[in-house]
Structure 1
Amino acid sequence: MLYKQIVKPALFRMDPEKAHHLIIDGLHAVAKLPGGRALLRGMYGVPSIPELKTELWGITFANPVGLAAGLDKNAKAVPGFSSIGFGFMEVGTVTPKPQAGNELPRLFRLPEDAALINRMGFNNVGIEGMARHLEEAGKRFVPLAVNIGKNKTTPNEHAEDDYRACIRGLYSRGDFFVVNISSPNTPDLRNLQHGDDLSRLLAAVQDEMKLQHQQRGGSAKPVLVKIAPDLSDEEIHYMVQTIARSGVSGIIASNTTISREGLSHPHKGEAGGLSGRPLTERSTRLIRQIYAATEGKLPIIGSGGIFTARDAYDKICAGASLVEIYTSLIYEGPGIIRRLNEGIAELMKQDGFKHISEAVGSAHRR
Structure 2
Amino acid sequence: MYRTLFSLVLSRLDPEFAHHLAFVVIRVLPALGLGGVLRRFTRPRVDLRVRALGLDFETPFGVAAGFDKDGEAVLGLGMLGFGHVEVGTVTARPQPGNEKPRLFRLIRDRAIINRMGFNNHGAAAAADRLRRVVPVPSRPVLGINIGKSRVVRVEDAVDDYRASARAVAPVADYLVVNVSSPNTPGLRGLQEIDMLEPLLAAVHESAGGTPMLVKIAPDLSDDEIGRIADLVVRLGLDGIIATNTTISREGLTTDAAAVTAAGAGGLSGAPLAARSIAVLRLLRSVVPSDLCIISVGGVESAHDVQERLDAGATLVQAYTAFLYRGPLWARQINRGLERIRAERIRAERVKR
Work out whether 1:285 is the aligned partner of 2:278.
yes
SS of residue in 1 equivalent to 2:79: coil
Shift of 1:30: 2.9
Shift of 1:58: 1.6
Work out whether 1:246 is the aligned partner of 2:232.
no
Q: Which residue, 65, 76, 83 being the options, matches 1:80?
A: 76
Contact 1:40 1:80 in 2 (8 A): no
SS of residue in 2 equivalent to 1:144: strand
Q: Which residue, 27, 40, 44 being the options, matches 1:47?
A: 44
Distance in 1, matches of 2:219 and 2:229, equals 14
- Larger CA deviation: 230-239 vs 248-257: 230-239
Distance in 2, matches of 1:89 and 1:97, equals 22
Work out whether 1:16 is the aligned partner of 2:5.
no
Work out whether 1:120 is the aligned partner of 2:111.
no
Contact 2:179 2:215 in 1 (8 A): yes
Distance in 2, matches of 1:9 and 1:201, equals 47
- Structure 1: segments with no counterpart, 5+ residues: 211-219, 355-366
Q: What is the identity, as a one-letter code, of the residue corresponding to 2:169?
A: Y
Contact 1:48 1:62 in 2 (8 A): no
Residue of structure 1 in register with 2:30 after alignment? 31
SS of residue in 2 equivalent to 1:172: helix
SS of residue in 2 equivalent to 1:229: coil
Q: What is the identity, as a one-letter code, of the residue corresponding to 1:29?
A: V
Residue of structure 2 in register with 1:162 after alignment? 160
SS of residue in 1 equivalent to 2:180: coil
Distance in 2, matches of 1:287 and 1:262, equals 20
Contact 2:269 2:320 in 1 (8 A): yes
Residue of structure 2 in register with 1:214 after alignment? none
Q: Which residue, 186, 192, 195 being the options, matches 1:194?
A: 192
1:8 to 1:40, Cα distance in 2 relative to 1, 3 A:
farther
Residue of structure 1 in register with 2:328 after alignment? 335
Q: Cα deviations across residues 260-305 of structure 1 (Å, max 9, x unaligned)? A: 0111224322210000000111100100000001142421011011
Q: Cα deviations across residues 44-94 of structure 1 (Å, max 9, x unaligned)? A: 5123321x2111122000110000000000111112111111111100000
**Equivalent runs, 1:1-366 vs 2, <5 Å:** 1=1, 3-6=2-5, 9-33=8-32, 35-42=33-40, 45-50=42-47, 52-137=48-133, 139=136, 140-210=138-208, 220-266=209-255, 267-269=258-260, 270-351=263-344
Distance in 2, matches of 1:222 and 1:103, equals 34
1:223 to 1:353, Cα distance in 2 relative to 1, 3 A:
farther
Shift of 1:352: 5.0
1:95 to 1:294, Cα distance in 2 relative to 1, 3 A:
same
Distance in 2, matches of 1:136 and 1:29, equals 15
Shift of 1:152: 0.7
Contact 2:183 2:265 in 1 (8 A): yes
Distance in 1, matches of 2:252 and 2:60, equals 30
- Larger CA deviation: 242-251 vs 344-353: 344-353
Distance in 1, matches of 2:345 and 2:54, equals 27
Shift of 1:309: 1.6
Shift of 1:21: 1.2
SS of residue in 2 equivalent to 1:171: helix
Shift of 1:8: 6.2
Contact 1:49 1:63 in 2 (8 A): no
Distance in 2, matches of 1:265 and 1:86, equals 30
Distance in 2, matches of 1:333 and 1:159, equals 37
Q: How many residues were matched structurally?
A: 341
- Structure 2: segments with no counterpart, 5+ residues: 348-352
Distance in 1, matches of 2:125 and 2:6, equals 29
Contact 1:8 1:331 in 2 (8 A): no
Distance in 1, matches of 2:34 and 2:126, equals 22
Question: What TM-score, normalized by structure 1, do the two folds share?
Answer: 0.88
Contact 2:44 2:338 in 1 (8 A): no
Identity %: 45
Contact 1:253 1:283 in 2 (8 A): yes
Distance in 1, matches of 2:259 and 2:279, equals 23
How large is the Cα RMSD of the aligned pairs? 1.9
Q: What is the identity, as a one-letter code, of the residue corresponding to 1:167?
A: A
SS of residue in 2 equivalent to 1:323: strand
Shift of 1:313: 1.4
